[in-house]
Amino acid sequence: MKKLLFILCILICSQLSLADEPKLCEVQMLGKNELTESFFKDIKKCEMGDTLVVYSGNKSKRNFVSETVARICKPETISIPFTSTPKIYICIYSGKILEKRI
């Protein structure tokens, strides 16, 4: 009986630890130079520690997208794997959107 309880405990604990595993989360930043409803809908699905893939639009809003990535990602994890347009940023989600100091 003790062995059965022990095995059950291990199985339950392993399932709980799997539920907290980081996942891949995609966020689109297409459109205007502002955070859109679509962006907030995408980012709400993400959890702290998830790997974010941020897709941006054209070159004209490059500064805005870079600033937003800096606000949502852990700075040391930000990478831009391709140099083409549209830009793709990959980072680890910090779990929050930092306020911009004005």
Does residue 3 have a pLDDT over 70? no
The whole-model pTM stands at 0.72
pLDDT of residue 92: 95
Does residue 8 have a pLDDT over 50? no
Instruction: Sketch the domain layout of the chain as residue ranges.
Output: 22-92
Q: How many CB atoms lie within 10 A of CB 88?
A: 14
Q: CA dist 7 to 13, 15, 18, 32, 74, Å?
A: 10, 12, 17, 54, 38
pLDDT of residue 6: 44
pLDDT of residue 21: 86
> Is residue 79 classed exposed, middle or buried when 0-12, 13-18 and 19+ CB atoms within 10 A define those classes?
exposed
pLDDT of residue 59: 64
The angle at the Cα of 100, spanning 96 to 102, to the nearest 5 degrees, equals 160
Judged by DSSP in three states, 15 sits in helix
Write out pLDDT tens, residues 32-85.
777 778 888 889 999 999 999 988 876 657 788 888 899 999 999 999 887 766
pLDDT of residue 86: 67
pLDDT of residue 61: 73
